[in-house]
Amino acid sequence: MGERVYVAYVGGTIGMRSTRAGYAPEPGHMSALFEQLISDAGTALPHVTFEEHLPLLDSSNATLETWSQLARTVFERLHDYDGFVILHGTGNGPANDESFLKAIADATDSGVVVVVVTQCLRGRVIPTAYATGSALLCAGAIPGHDMTTEAALAKLEVLLGEGLPADEVREMMLTDLAGELS
C-alpha cells in the first residue's frame, strides 16, 4: 500500500482567517494552504489525503457528536491509512451555543461578573482575536488579559467581598491593582 496519511481538518486556529468578528475557520482556506505545502514538498512526503470536516468549528464549539463522528471517520478508514492527523483548535467559549451565550448574558445583566481567563502559562486573553471570544464579550463577559486563573479568582473574591457594584468590579478587574496584570 505504501505510506498513506489521512489529515482531517475540523477547524481551529491553524486554518482561520480574519473576519469582522475576529479569526474564524473558513472553508477552503486550510485546503489551499495544505495543497501548497504538499506541492512544495514534492515526493518527500507520503501520499496524503486531506479532508475538511464541515462545518468547520473552533474546538470550543465542538460537541460530543462532533468528536464521535470524527472517531467514526478514523475507524472507517483505519485499514486504508498508515497514519492519521487531526487538525483542530484549542478553543474559547462556544460561540454557536445560543443557550450558553444567553446564560452568560442573563448572568451579566443581573449583576454577575464573568471573567474570561486562559490556562496557558504564557500569553493573554485577547477576546476580539477570535469570533468565539467576541461572542463572549457581546454576552457581557470581560477579558482577564494575562491574569492567571488563580489571580483572577482571588481578585474577584476581594472586589466582590468589598460589596462594590458590578460595574465597578468589572472596571477594577481590568485595572492592575497589585501586579496581577502586565
Place of cell 478514523: 74
| Residues 131, 58: Cα–Cα separation, whole Å | 9
Q: Which domains are seen in the chain, by residue range?
A: 4-87 (3.40.50.1170), 98-173 (3.40.50.40)
Q: Return all residues near 174 (Cβ < 8 A) that are at least 6 apart.
A: 142, 143, 145, 181
Q: State residue 121's pLDDT score.
A: 64
SS (H, E, C) the chain: CCCEEEEEECCCHHHEEEECCEEEECCCHHHHHHHHHHHHHCCCCCEEEEEECCCCCCHHHCCHHHHHHHHHHHHHHCCCCCEEEEECCCCCCCCCCHHHHHHHHHHHHCCCCCEECCCCCCCCCCCCCEHHHHHHHHCCCEECCCCCHHHHHHHHHHHHHCCCCHHHHHHHHCCCCCCCCC
- pLDDT tens string for the chain (182 positions)? 468 888 888 887 778 889 888 888 889 998 998 888 888 877 777 788 999 999 988 777 888 888 888 888 988 998 888 777 888 766 667 778 888 888 889 989 988 998 888 766 677 788 778 777 888 889 999 998 998 888 888 898 889 888 899 999 999 999 999 999 98
Q: What is the pTM of this model?
A: 0.64
